[in-house]
Amino acid sequence: MPVLKVSNIQDGKIIIDKTELCNFENFSIENTLNPGEVIFTLSGSLGKVGINLTSQKFLFTTDLIAFDFNKLLSITLYMYYYLLNYSKEIIHKLKKGGIIPHIYKSDLKKFKIKLPSLEIQEEIVEMLDKFSSKLGVVDILKKEFKLRRQQYEYYRRLLVSPVDYLNKKFKENYKEIIDIYDRKSLNLSVKRNLNEQQEQAVEFSLDKDILIIAGAGTGKTKTLVERYKHLIESGIAKQDILVTTFTRQAKREIEERISEDMVEREKREIEVYTNHQFCRNIILDY
């Protein structure tokens, strides 16, 4: 996921062409900027403001703070314009430190702002939008949004195309096994002590991907491991099976359970990745 720094916030905009990518596991969920949220700098260049008008989520460093003012666009834009115009006042009242000045998040969250009625907010936003449009600010933001969408579509195609190709080759190579596969003749729930939902996931059609989403301690890892072993027993080669998961810990646990009864050569054929590793490898390879 792209990471925003103070240097990415310029002239009321988020500059996205120089962002770095990072594994979201290394960041707190509080350090996520969602679409429509406003971001504010807390140290270094104090009081810089940006708004996320893209459909992309961003991670951000600890010298930034994100605000989700309201689902109503008018309120968000009003607060965006407010911060743009009154950031110096906020800095003057809340700034701490000497050589490297900073604003504490706790102080900023306590900062009181008098809000006019929603109708007046909408009128102010409309007037400022027109003024900004004359200066070209709105046009620039719209252009950035369009470019971001194009970038998103490019990487989406980059990630999906190889997977679609591999799925097609898989179905061609294992057509005979897939055709004779009869999931109803199996009874894995007895052999492997699976509940009904786990059994359905493990015995699911050989030529379909499965996605397992469940809470902690519900048997996600067990289900993935048993699905893997079931594919092997059905005649699928290890190098043609891909397992991805969200965390490195889950990845290690899956690898350990799958390889319990394997020799060293067989272990090297196991393909288990975190989602981040898998996407990164595709981008680097293609």
Residue 267 assigned as binding residue: no
183 within 8 A of 204, measured Cβ to Cβ: yes
Q: Name the burial class of residue 41, with classes exposed (0-12), middle (13-18) and buried (19+) by CB atoms within 10 angstroms of its CB.
A: buried
Both 126 and 45 in one domain: the answer is yes
* Tokens describing residue 82: 């407010």
In a domain? residue 152: no
Q: 261: how many CB neighbours lie within 10 A of its CB? A: 7
Residue 221 assigned as binding residue: yes
Both 106 and 201 in one domain: the answer is no
Distance CA 204, CA 172 (A): 18
Range of 180's domain?
174-285
In a domain? residue 280: yes
Both 194 and 132 in one domain: the answer is no
Record the pTM: 0.46
Q: What pLDDT does residue 145 have?
A: 62
In a domain? residue 202: yes
Both 128 and 248 in one domain: the answer is no
- How many domains, the chain? 2
125 within 8 A of 78, measured Cβ to Cβ: yes
Task: For residue 214, give the nearest of 228, 195, 242 by alpha carbon.
Answer: 195
Q: What pLDDT does residue 64 have?
A: 92
Residue 235 assigned as binding residue: no
* DSSP code string of 208-274: S-------TTSSHHHHHHHHHHHHHHTT--GGG--EEES-HHHHHHHHHHHTTT--HHHHTT--EEE
In a domain? residue 208: yes
Q: Is beta strand 38-41 parallel, antiparallel or unpaired with respect to 32-33?
A: unpaired
Q: Is beta strand 272-274 parallel, antiparallel or unpaired with respect to 13-14?
A: unpaired
Distance CA 9, CA 39 (A): 8
Both 210 and 268 in one domain: the answer is yes
174 within 8 A of 206, measured Cβ to Cβ: yes
Residue 274 assigned as binding residue: no
Q: What pLDDT does residue 188 have?
A: 47
Both 104 and 218 in one domain: the answer is no
In a domain? residue 162: no
Residue 12 assigned as binding residue: no
Among residues 147, 165, 188, the one where a domain terminates is 147
- Reduced to 3 states (helix: H, G, I; strand: E, B; else coil), residue 35 is coil
Both 219 and 132 in one domain: the answer is no
Both 188 and 140 in one domain: the answer is no
191 within 8 A of 230, measured Cβ to Cβ: no
Both 122 and 183 in one domain: the answer is no
Q: What is the DSSP letter of 31?
A: G
Distance CA 59, CA 32 (A): 5
Both 8 and 92 in one domain: the answer is yes
Residue 44 assigned as binding residue: no
Q: What pLDDT does residue 143 have?
A: 65
Both 126 and 190 in one domain: the answer is no
Residue 72 — left, alpha, or beta (φ > 0 → left; ψ -120 to 50 → alpha)? beta
Residues 6+ apart with CB under 8 A from 55: 35, 148, 149, 152
Distance CA 43, CA 9 (A): 12
In a domain? residue 60: yes
Describe the strand order of the beta sheet including 49-51 as a list of residue ranges: 49-51, 38-41, 64-67
Q: List b or e across 1-29, with b for residues whose CB sees 16 or more CB atoms inside 10 angstroms.
A: bbbbbbebbeebbbebeebeeeebeebee
Sign for the CA dihedral angle at 256, 259, 265, 270 comes to: negative
Beta bridge partners of 2: 21
In a domain? residue 255: yes
**Would you write out the chain's pLDDT as a tens digit for each of its 286 residues?**
888 988 889 888 888 877 888 876 767 778 899 888 899 999 888 999 998 888 888 999 889 999 887 655 557 888 888 888 888 888 989 998 877 789 998 898 888 887 888 888 888 887 777 666 555 555 655 666 666 667 667 666 666 676 677 778 777 877 777 676 554 444 444 456 777 778 777 777 666 666 777 667 778 888 888 888 888 888 888 878 888 888 888 888 888 888 886 777 677 778 888 888 877 776 666 5
Q: What is the CATH number of the domain that holds 130?
A: 3.90.220.20
Both 95 and 16 in one domain: the answer is yes
Q: What is the CATH number of the domain that holds 279?
A: 3.40.50.300
Q: What pLDDT does residue 48 have?
A: 92
In a domain? residue 158: no
